[in-house]
Chains A and B, each alone.
Chain A
Amino acid sequence: MSSFIFSFAALLFSPFLLSIINRTKAVLGGRKGAPLLQPYYDIIKLIQKGAVYSCTTTWVFKAGPAVGLAATIICVFIVPFGAHPAPFAFSGDFVLLAYLLGLSRFFTVSAALDTGSSFEGMGASREAAFSALAEPALFLALAAVARKTGELSLSGIFHAISAQGWGASSLPIALLTTTALLIIFLAENARIPVDDPNTHLELTMIHEVMVLDHGGMDLAFIQYGASLKLWVLGAILMGCLAPGRPDTSWLGGAAFMGGMCALSVLTGVIESSMARLRLVRVPQLLSGAGGLAALALILVMR
């Protein structure tokens, strides 16, 4: 039962990660920054609006945000809350998680193409290409931790890591895996150095340009879905790094939450300290992540 409570906490808390990132960026940029609850205000405001649909679009455009959000919500119930098992834990659950994110992407990309706009087509094309390259890297990284722990479900893997710890001898493995997962986390969530969530030039955007024509409820679905995706991939990264202790139930949960906040701060620091890569460099970054994960795997198998 408590696992469900944790999942609902994740549903509630995930937009807050965005505000931590934004606040970090504001502080480092010497600004005061938006209120900490701004992402919630945005979503509430969007829900109160009417809707404008492009006359080019069909039902696919309306299905996109709904399917995308639904798939990501299911993912939240698959990803464990640190060392706490998820309500939907089973052997091979990370395969389902990766493919649910794929389903969400399939419909977001289709909805973007439904507008008939070249800008959105451009974003859709990049999203599809970069995710295709991120996917093998994710599987390699997860295969490495799976073999290290001998477990086949995310909950089992994180539980085992928290019980045994990485240990001094496998520190390189931990470092390589988490670096690969961090790159995947940044790329899949459209953060710098792959995509800039604050950019205003359509030609250089990836994720933001795909949702140009969405508004009102649909945009609220998309923004909430994006924050959930941030949570899901962040939780996988934090679970591999520092999942907390399973025995002290609530304290472990709080520690994990702290870890997620720290990850958001780190994301904010990365965004403040470096520029976005040129688009042609992104595939190299992603295959680099795959390479790191493969290296970790070799070390595990040694």
Chain B
Amino acid sequence: MTTVLISIVLLILSGLAAFTAGRSYKVATLLGAGGAFLACISAMPPVLRILLGGASKPLHLPWDVPYGSFSVAIDPLSAAFLVPILVLSALCALYGAQYLESYSAGKSTGAHWFFFNLLVASMIMVTIARNGVLFLIAWEVMSISPLFLILFEDEKPEVRSAGWTYLVAAHLGAVFILVFFLMLGRNSQSLDFDLLMAQGKGLPLGGGVLFLFAVIGFGAKAGFIPFHVWLPEAHPAAPSHVSALMSGIMIKMGIYGILRSLTLLGRPDPLWGYAMIGIGLSSGILGVIYALAQHDLKRLLAYHSVENIGIIALGIGVGLMGEASGLPVLAALGFGGAIFHVLNHAIFKGLLFLGAGSVLHGAKTAKIDRLGGLLKSMPVTGACFLIGAAAISGLPPLNGFASEFLIYYGAIGASLKGSAAFATPLILTAAGLALIGGLATACFTKAFGVVFLGEPRHEETAHESGILMRIPMLALAGLCAIIGITSPLILNILGPAVRVILSSQGQMAASGLMPATRPLLMISLASTGLIFLTIALVLIRKAILRGRTVTSAPTWGCGYARPTARMQYTASSFAQPLTGLFRPFLRTAETVRMPKDIFPTNAFFESHTNDAFKELIFEPAFLGIARLFSRLKWLQHGRVQLYVLYIAITLMAILFWKLRG
């Protein structure tokens, strides 16, 4: 406990030190990034100890704030979220130290590192806070600090607009969370989670409304559709290590919020499970369909965050159904799969965003259709991106498969019995996961294939990134493989975290994830076999080809002798069969000038997919609100005397109201 609090202090102090160092790139980076790295590494051992079964003493200090207290604790659920926070933050700090160098001319890197460290510190605080007020304060700091990170390149108008979208989305979500805690603590003297948990069993209003508020409030942070609109704006605008941190971890704080509020709300209703499965299916499928239609690598990755949040929501939904119908194994598999996927997604999405940043850094653009053949000039980035792409598609032997398997296993296993009303959502979960998996494979073969394979589509030569940027990518790629192979061991770590969620249920908590041990063992056995078999096949081919003629020649172009790089299949054409199929959802706008005459001179094709939810829901809604408020403009005219009068009238009104009551 103390170590973790010390590292929070270290994070804030090193951020402040970097801030005072200001515009000197080297000093600010050394203080800021170095401080973040050290703080995260030093907080690692106590957190791991808790996951492996150790205990930590909660800390409870009184506080003057109404309903507040400085109450912090680390339980296995906190620790399961702290591990990815610490790992990814340390690696992103390392990466950012080199990445920012070429963008930092005339900018204050000190301020950047200050807010970076503040973001990391506030995320740690959110996971360990055990009081509503403390939680909300940490949550607000966590919501505000990314704004300044997104606005790093604030000279670009699209970056400013992205920052604005982010700010609005973050605050709308926070309002619901505030109301959630207010309603929860109505009858209580303090918002300490222990007290709230004790009264959770007899919530008068029924937990349903509270659950709804939690899902909306935390879902806005997590990026459930339709609250996802800020993700595809903010992630491409932010520097890449910040995108990695936001997408890998910060949006997961929304998931943490939902899981933590479940511990406060008592026994769930089966409807909650249906709702989460519905949210998961829509976010998962629509997220990946939107990703398929994107032309910008980082925007594509942002939509994949929506997809993966959908998968996590499916896991939570399956878990809730298990909890509501008294099936401990189903509950454990659902929640366990969700928490495992949080860890896995942090690793491979962090890796992919760092890879995209490396592309942006080395090739000066992230427009997929302008890139190509980067594997030759950026071998390390390319290989790491390939591993991340396979992992996010949920392919064995990597980590994404293990967590998705837990959800599949729970859903299909429980669907064998029970009524149709109970089995249908579970089977839909499995079928939805299958569709998401297939579409994700299509999307990531597109992203990896078009960006890294084939011939370069532009003249400029790309270069590999520096060592500080390569080490984090290699580390994350290694983790993808290691976690994939050792998944049965991870089950033992996930067990206690799942038990925290189910603790209010008594006997539910006892039996855990054990039934999944044998399947996961078999999977890691098969994965090991797969790896050895692949190596064996490669060696056999090498041995047989030794001594024979191995030559190289141009790619077969059906006899056409002068192919150019621009004739290659583009990302848009690769995705066309699927984007065409899902056109009603995507509403892709196309501008076409068809080739005419016998010798066509110029032809032209352009497609653009805007977010339908942004265009059809949020923009009209906010415009309407703006129009409504513009009716009140006559109140605002710039005459100070009248403003003073307003104040006087207000004071009088309050006074009379007070006197009456």
Contact = CB atoms under 8 A, between A and B. Distances in A.
A96 B548 contact: no
A136 B413 contact: no
Given A58-B453, A106-B395, A118-B569, A95 B420 contact: no
B573 interface: yes
Contact of A74 (B455, B533, B563): B533
A114 to B, nearest CB: 4
A217 interface: yes
Contacts of A297: 427
Contacts of B454: 56, 113-116
Contacts of B565: 116
Given A52-B551, A102-B395, A147 B416 contact: yes
A138 B431 CA distance: 9
Interface string B262-298: 0000000000000000000000000000000000000
Contact of B435 (A78, A120, A136): A136
Which of A58, A98, A124 gathers most chain B CB within 10 Å?
A58
Contacts of B604: none
A299 to B, nearest CB: 11
Contacts of B455: 56, 116
A298 B525 CA distance: 35
Interface stretch (B299-307, B359-367, B553-561, B645-653): B553-561
Nearest to B450: A113
Interface stretch (B28-36, B135-143, B167-175, B436-444): B436-444
B546 to A, nearest CB: 11
Given A52-B553, A96-B523, A136-B438, A116 B568 contact: yes
A198 B307 CA distance: 38
A202 B412 contact: no
Interface string B410-453: 00110111001001100100111111011101101110111001
Contacts of B412: 92, 95, 143, 146, 152
Contacts of A115: 454, 555-556
B625 interface: no
A102 B530 CA distance: 14
Nearest to B405: A95
A302 interface: yes
Contacts of B551: 50-53
Where chain A touches its partner, the secondary structure class is helix
A140 B428 CA distance: 9
A43 interface: no
B526 A96 contact: yes
Contacts of A143: 412, 415, 427, 430-431
A113 B416 contact: no
Interface residues of B, number: 83
Interface stretch (B180-188, B313-321, B386-394): B386-394
A90 B545 contact: no
Given A110-B453, A116-B455, A122-B569, A213 B522 contact: no
Interface residues of A, number: 85
B541 to A, nearest CB: 5
A175 interface: no
Contacts of A110: 386, 445, 448-449, 453
A95 B445 contact: no
B107 interface: no
Tell me what chain B mostly uses at the interface: helix, strand, loop, or mixed: helix
B534 interface: yes
B598 interface: no
Nearest to A130: B577
Nearest to B574: A125
B434 A135 contact: yes
Contacts of B576: 125
Interface stretch (A33-41, A64-72, A243-251, A266-274): A64-72
Nearest to A144: B427
A276 interface: no
Interface string A100-135: 101101100110111111111110111011111111
A125 B558 contact: no
A121 to B, nearest CB: 2
Interface string A54-94: 11111010110011011101100110000000001011110
Interface of B: 372-373, 375-376, 382, 386, 390, 393-396, 401, 405, 408-409, 412-413, 415-417, 420, 423-424, 427, 430-435, 437-439, 441-442, 444-446, 448-450, 453-455, 515, 518-519, 522-523, 525-526, 529-530, 533-534, 537-538, 541, 544-545, 548-558, 563, 565, 567-569, 573-578, 581
17 contacts: A47-B544, A50-B549, A53-B553, A55-B554, A56-B455, A58-B375, A66-B538, A74-B529, A96-B522, A99-B394, A102-B393, A116-B454, A121-B574, A124-B449, A132-B441, A152-B412, A217-B541
Given A50-B551, A102-B394, A301-B424, 13 more contacts: A51-B545, A55-B555, A96-B526, A102-B441, A103-B396, A103-B530, A114-B454, A120-B569, A124-B569, A134-B438, A143-B427, A143-B430, A301-B423
